[in-house]
């Protein structure tokens, strides 16, 4: 039986409305994370997350580093037919818990909107796998959903209701702890705003097509109810919801 659009996990639901930027802090947070990592043209970076091939190409163009994106299908590869772009950015099919790369392969790893959708046990396994493919002294950067303050059972229930899928944010100290458990040190972080429903975020991420997302949300009562419930939750409880941008070093 097919899943209705309004029953999808929140990022997939937003994608069904035409949203292209599906990371919680949007393009602004990605750019801020790349600046925190201070990548350069002598480095090789792994990129994991929604539309990873796009992010990897953006990272190569803005930092001069070479990049490899982890994707789930051939259709997600962007540079296969462009030799000039492929020299800077490539993609490989695989799973984040079993990365198709050798040990100590990368200088930097960028992981976005991935760990938050895993159980705490899988989060640790994923970070240990990223630790494996980084060179000694290599750096990791996270862009993930986070609690600005400890959640309550009521807020967790409300988030589960609007998300309709697996979602496990952590408080800042929680993200620090799991990074350190996976073998990373020298953790630093900044906080950003969840931009899914902010006017500035929509305009920055979607440009002139932002209005089309609202038109799609109004297409029927079910999608409108779903969109409004999520908008209301992230607006009314914005003191709970945030985005962590964290960097750390392979110990």
Per-residue pLDDT averaged across 227-238, rounded? 95
Phi, psi of 135 (to 5 degrees): -70, 155
**Secondary structure tally for the chain: helices H, strands E:** 10, 8
Q: Which two tokens stand for residue 21?
A: 């930027």
Rounded CA-CA distance 70/197 in Å is: 27
Q: What share of the chain in percent tops pLDDT 70?
A: 98
Q: What is the pLDDT of residues 98-135, one digit of tens each?
A: 999 999 999 999 999 999 999 999 999 999 999 999 99
Distance linking the first and last C-alpha atoms of the chain: 47
Q: What share of the chain in percent tops pLDDT 90?
A: 93
User: Domains in the chain: how many in total?
Assistant: 1
Q: What is the pTM of this model?
A: 0.94
Yes or no: say if 110 and 55 are a contact pair by the CB < 8 Å rule.
Answer: yes
CATH number at residue 39: 3.40.50.150
Rounded CA-CA distance 64/9 in Å is: 35
Strands 134-147 and 106-112, sheet pairing: parallel
Answer whether residue 220 is part of any domain.
no
Answer whether residue 204 is part of any domain.
yes
Answer whether residue 80 is part of any domain.
yes
Q: What is the pLDDT of residues 196-207, one digit of tens each?
A: 999 889 999 999
Answer whether residue 8 is part of any domain.
no
Residues in a beta bridge with 184: 250
Answer whether residue 45 is part of any domain.
yes
Q: Which range of residues forms the domain containing residue 90?
A: 21-152+168-209+238-250
Rounded CA-CA distance 86/89 in Å is: 5
Phi, psi of 57 (to 5 degrees): -65, -40
Answer whether residue 106 is part of any domain.
yes
């Amino acid at each position: 039986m097919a899943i209705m659009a309004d029953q999808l996990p929140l990022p997939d639901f937003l994608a069904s409305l035409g949203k292209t930027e599906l990371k919680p802090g949007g393009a602004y947070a990605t750019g801020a994370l790349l600046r925190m990592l201070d990548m350069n043209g002598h480095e090789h970076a792994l990129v994991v997350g929604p539309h990873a091939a796009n992010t990897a190409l953006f990272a190569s163009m803005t930092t001069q580093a070479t990049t490899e994106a982890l994707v789930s299908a051939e259709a997600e590869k962007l540079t296969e037919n462009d030799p000039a772009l492929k020299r800077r950015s490539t993609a490989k099919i695989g799973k984040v818990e079993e990365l198709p790369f050798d040990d100590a392969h990368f200088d930097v790893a960028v992981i976005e909107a991935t760990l938050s959708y895993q159980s705490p046990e899988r989060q640790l396994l994923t970070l240990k796998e990223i630790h494996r493919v980084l060179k000694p002294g290599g750096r990791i950067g996270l862009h993930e959903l986070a609690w600005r303050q400890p959640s309550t059972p009521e807020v967790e229930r409300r988030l589960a209701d609007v998300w309709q899928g697996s979602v496990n944010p952590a408080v800042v100290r929680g993200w620090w702890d799991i990074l350190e458990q996976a073998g990373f040190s020298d953790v630093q972080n900044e906080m950003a705003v969840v931009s899914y429903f902010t006017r500035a975020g929509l305009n920055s991420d979607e440009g002139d097509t932002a209005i089309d997302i609202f038109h799609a949300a109004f297409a029927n009562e079910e999608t409108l109810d779903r969109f409004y419930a999520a908008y209301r939750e992230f607006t009314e409880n914005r003191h709970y919801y945030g985005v962590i941008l964290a960097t750390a070093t392979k110990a």
